[in-house]
Chains A and B, each alone.
Chain A
Amino acid sequence: MELSLPQAAATALVNLSLAWIVGVLASRFWLMRGAMPEQKPVLKRLSSCMAASLLAAAAGIALSLWAGAVVMGDVRWLEAGPVLVLMLKTTHYGHAGLAAFGTLVLTMLAHRRLGRARNGMRDMGAIAMLVLAFAVARISIGHAYERGPLSIAVGVELLHLLLMSLWVGAVFVAGWIVLPSAAADPSFTAGACAHYLTSLSSWATGALAGILLTGAYNSCRVLGSLQDLIESDYGHVLVFKLCMVLVAIGLAGVNRFYGLPAQAMKAQRDLRLVIAILRIESLVLLLALAAAAVLTSSAPPG
């Protein structure tokens, strides 16, 4: 398995940032739809989180371009400057990276506007479209793109990335930002909290179904046979990723069928169990994201 560690690290950073970005967007949407646009403290925290995630994504893209120049030109880490310029000018990898970087800058501008403007939903729609464009640029340097820019492989890969970002991001944002805020903030009503949890649960379930379908399609496309799963390094990492996803699904199930009803029954802000499970789930998903980045950066068998 040929693998450039900086390229894999950059991919992991980009994927993780994208998950946070999508998670913040979704959480914001659920909160605003859920009868409490006045929920200032939590929206403010989400806003800072979005700004940080956009910066992290931009850093990830910059790192992936630099690491790409090092690999393409076979030069030392600090001597990649001239190669980088040539790469940005002439290669598909460079063009896609520039496009990704450009959409991030536009998203940052749109996000600043969202902080000031009144029409939040419309601006959020604009940000969502920009994030979609960013995801397209990100996918176009992946393995699926070899099948052609408008191929089914690219569409499925894009859907997989977006749904995975939605699920992982929703878990991160709920477990580390929104629910801790809800537990600490008296103006966050129990009804609003219940509405948020219901949205989270149903969206995550839908995303999960899509993730499993698109993931199965991708695996069939990439792997020649079951043998590859057992015998190649690529297959081993894929199995590890699948195991992490299954553990996370198990934890999500515990939350859905035990944590949420327990919270609802007490009809109070006792979110400790739900938060704890979400946080464990987020760590497991972090490992799945890392494995996905290794897979993106290495050659599949077959």
Chain B
Amino acid sequence: MAGGTAWAHATLRSATPAQNAELSAAPKEIVLRFNEKLEAAFSSIKVVDSAGKPVSTAKATLDAGDPSQMKVAVPVLAPGKYIVHFIAVGDDGHRRKGVYSFAVK
């Protein structure tokens, strides 16, 4: 996972589902919370399964009320491991990539 707790540059604060979570129910969406406002045009989320195949083509959007939250809807996920790749571009023009995984039981 990129970052840690640094506040400068867009850094992932928390995620739903959380990193390494093992869920009994498949999530409907992936929500990532960052430490600063993101730029919608340059930030993205891609979810792939354990074979590396994208689970959907939906584009990530920023939360209307809180532009430091980015989310993407996902179809019903079959049991297995999933990897979330994200790109976060903040106000200061810097770009940060990150990756984490979760599993559906």
Report A's interface with B, CB cutoff 8 A.
2, 4, 7, 68, 71-74, 86-87, 90-93, 141-143, 145-146, 222, 299-302
- Whether A143 contacts B8 by the Cβ 8 Å rule is yes
CB distance from A296 to the nearest CB of B (A): 9
CB distance from B76 to the nearest CB of A (A): 31
Contact of A93 among B36, B91, B96 (CB under 8 A): B91
Contact of A72 among B5, B35, B36, B39 (CB under 8 A): B39
The reply to whether the CB of B95 lies closer than 8 angstroms to some CB of chain A is yes
Q: What are the 4 A-B residue pairs with the smallest beta carbon separation, nearest first?
A: A93-B93, A68-B93, A299-B9, A91-B39
- Whether B39 contacts A90 by the Cβ 8 Å rule is yes
**Chain B interface, DSSP helix/strand/loop, else mixed:** loop
The reply to whether the CB of B103 lies closer than 8 angstroms to some CB of chain A is no
Q: What number of residue pairs across chains A and B have CB atoms under 8 A from each other?
A: 63
- Whether A145 contacts B40 by the Cβ 8 Å rule is no
The reply to whether the CB of B45 lies closer than 8 angstroms to some CB of chain A is no
Q: Can you name 13 A-B residue pairings with CB atoms under 8 Å?
A: A2-B94, A68-B93, A72-B39, A72-B93, A74-B95, A90-B40, A91-B42, A92-B39, A141-B91, A145-B91, A146-B35, A146-B92, A222-B8
| Contact count band on B | 20 to 34
Which B10-44 residues have a C-beta within 8 angstroms of A?
Answer: 35-37, 39-42
- Whether A92 contacts B37 by the Cβ 8 Å rule is yes
- Whether A146 contacts B95 by the Cβ 8 Å rule is no
- Whether A86 contacts B41 by the Cβ 8 Å rule is yes
- Whether A143 contacts B39 by the Cβ 8 Å rule is no
- Whether B41 contacts A87 by the Cβ 8 Å rule is yes
- Whether A91 contacts B41 by the Cβ 8 Å rule is yes
Chain A residues near B36 (CB, 8 Å)? Answer: 146
Chain B residues near A92 (CB, 8 Å)? Answer: 37, 39, 91
- Whether A299 contacts B8 by the Cβ 8 Å rule is yes
* Given known A-B contacts A2-B96, A143-B8, A146-B36, A72 and B42 have beta carbons under 8 A apart: yes
- Whether B92 contacts A141 by the Cβ 8 Å rule is yes
- Whether B7 contacts A146 by the Cβ 8 Å rule is yes
Cα A85 to Cα B90 with chains together (Å): 17
- Whether A71 contacts B92 by the Cβ 8 Å rule is no
CB distance from A138 to the nearest CB of B (A): 12
The reply to whether the CB of B6 lies closer than 8 angstroms to some CB of chain A is yes
Cα A41 to Cα B35 with chains together (Å): 54
The reply to whether the CB of B89 lies closer than 8 angstroms to some CB of chain A is yes
Chain A residues near B42 (CB, 8 Å)? Answer: 72-73, 86-87, 91
Chain B residues near A145 (CB, 8 Å)? Answer: 91-92
Chain A residues near B87 (CB, 8 Å)? Answer: 74
Contact of B9 among A2, A7, A86, A93 (CB under 8 A): A2
Chain A residues near B5 (CB, 8 Å)? Answer: 302
Which of B6, B8, B36, B87 has most A Cβ within 10 Å?
Answer: B8
- Whether A141 contacts B93 by the Cβ 8 Å rule is yes
Cα A299 to Cα B89 with chains together (Å): 13
Cα A141 to Cα B36 with chains together (Å): 13
Cα A145 to Cα B37 with chains together (Å): 11
- Whether A72 contacts B37 by the Cβ 8 Å rule is no
- Whether A300 contacts B8 by the Cβ 8 Å rule is yes
- Whether B94 contacts A299 by the Cβ 8 Å rule is yes
Cα A302 to Cα B3 with chains together (Å): 10
Instruction: Give 20 A-B pairs besides A2-B9, A301-B6 with Cβ atoms closer than 8 angstroms.
Output: A7-B93, A71-B93, A72-B42, A72-B95, A74-B87, A74-B95, A86-B42, A91-B39, A91-B41, A92-B37, A92-B91, A143-B8, A145-B92, A146-B90, A146-B92, A222-B8, A299-B9, A300-B8, A302-B6, A302-B8
